[in-house]
Structure 1
């Protein structure tokens, strides 16, 4: 299996309502974006009576804003029908792509066809109750396998909607991996990642509970997620910190990928086997290239120490 780890460059993806008063300034480059990727939301972040205003706002932004920001911009329509409408807007090529809400296997082809025809990328969102069934993840994966994987910036897992399917919501002090979502996160992510798809972790929506956020992102990283949704700029540095790589892992990854490396060797008491660990090593160095090395005692290390 060939893995593409370029989606690490998404970093923390900030969700913003399209009608947020700072969006125009961000897109014009008048304010520096706090994140490396952003989703301008026309779906759950908008009340029904704000939808028309949101569509007009997007149309005006595409027409008048040069989008000077280096941030990667995605738009989340409310439905496939709205996505088809937005794809016809003048200037839609200024954004990188769409977030496909509540995708299911039966709608995957239509979303992928839309992205392909509009020359955009797509971020399918797995958030419907049917995805508690591994068979539905398999069906989605098979539907997506008919398309070039490069069309997919990431597959997002929608934690809040999955919790809502059980009449639950997130609790303070408990990570997603310690609560009722643990099984579905592990199941869905492992089935998709092992098929070569980049998968992004659910939002942590208790803004003031930074310590639990830190623990959760560490668990996300260990599970192979390549990005995490943020709902507040204050979360972004903590998400990025968790994606930084230890010097020990960098050293091992470089040794594993070194030309002429032995079939098996140990570093610091840990077995390294290039034939088995090559993809892990490539993942580690991809993370390092984007996020850098972990800090110790407030000092960010370099490879030289």
Structure 2
């Protein structure tokens, strides 16, 4: 179970509104190829007027998933999370629904002040947590440092798979929308992601990358994915099944990366040259361990057939 709930198993995390009627097919019957994790969303993807319909649909969905789990197990399923609308809805779900087939909750608008409320709701469950960083205080490095220190010492720490970066909500805080032909890193989110990695990364928290809302522009998304990986992010939010393959390809490992990782982890030399670059096991060991975890889950990139996901200069998309 611990290996199943590794952050490396998230991949492209597809968000599906709880009003959808095909979620069971996606989970049990493999309707969406390559799907590793999904979030049944009761928050931004569902209008206030549709909440009763969404909750009724979720109840039926849970009955089907629970029965399938009892008879089939769920080791081959994608990871399944629910994103409640708020703490009140989270509490109601815990108290009124059978969640045995659910792996965890995505916690919206997560802050230091909401931590004790969420933990009071979830402490006695089996559910893992994916808090979403998407409020105004995320822009404040002091508040993020305080949150990271608090989470590290809190009993919820062992239940956190990853922290999700809510790109669209954060852009909304500063009255912006992501540029159509640029990556998020060319916006204020570039600072935010770098800061969050600097604050949470050294404390061994995994962070997932924000969604790319431009569904049909895979070239820009490939550019952004390359930057996501360069920043050490694990997995990426998806809003359409067509994005899954692009994200999966970006998470694959090149033969060169794998070769370097093996040499770094097994070398007795303090420093050596490989493929035209310096390798220093003392400083590259954690990177190398991550590469081996990525190749275990995603495999190797077929570099001869990878032209569709190669990073292109952004000027070519304008």
Q: TM-score, normalised by structure 1?
A: 0.91
Instruction: Find 1:94's aligned residue among 87, 98, 101.
Output: 101
Contact residue 77 and residue 100 of structure 1 kept, 8 A: yes
Q: Give the corresponding residue for 2:294.
A: 287
Moved more, 158-167 or 143-152: 143-152
Q: 2:15 & 2:87 partners in 1: Cα distance?
A: 19
Query: Would the aligned equivalents of 1:109 and 1:144 in 2 still touch at CA under 8 Å?
Result: no
- Segments of structure 1 that go 5 or more residues without pairing to the other structure are 301-305
Structure 2 CA distance for aligned equivalents of residues 18 and 275 of structure 1: 47
Give the corresponding residue for 2:157: 149
Q: Mark the runs of 5 or more structure 2 residues left unpaired by the alignment.
A: 308-318
CA 1:149–1:117: 2 relative to 1, 3 Å: same
1:223 aligns with 231
1:211 maps to 2:219: yes
Query: Counterparts in 2 of 1:1-305, with a 5 A limit?
Result: 6-29=6-29, 31-32=31-32, 34-65=34-65, 66=68, 70-145=77-152, 146-147=154-155, 149-258=157-266, 261-298=268-305
Contact preservation (8 Å) 1:154, 1:197: yes
Instruction: Give 1:24 deviation, angstroms.
Output: 2.8
Structure 1 runs of 4+ with >6 Å offset = none
Q: How far does residue 148 in structure 1 lie from its aligned partner after superposition? A: 5.0
Cα-to-partner distance string for 1:199-247 (whole Å, 9 max, x where unaligned)? 0000000111111000001100010000100000001111111111121
**Shift of residue 34 of structure 1?**
4.3
The TM-score normalised by the length of structure 2 is 0.88
CA contact (8 A) 1:103 1:127 kept: yes
1:44-90 Cα deviation digits (max 9, x unpaired): 00000111111121122112332556110000000111111111244
RMSD: 1.9
Residues 12, 238 of structure 2: 8 Å contact kept: yes
For 2:28 and 2:91, the matched residues in 1 are separated by 25
Displacement of 1:180: 2.1
- For this pair of structures, how many residues does the alignment match? 295
CA-to-aligned-CA distance 1:2-27 (integer Å, 9 cap, x gap): xxx93111100000001112113223
Is the CA contact (8 Å cut-off) linking 1:98 and 1:120 kept in structure 2?
yes
Cα distance, 1:33 vs structure 2: 5.2
Indicate the SS of the match to 2:131.
Answer: strand
Q: Secondary structure at the match of 1:271?
A: strand
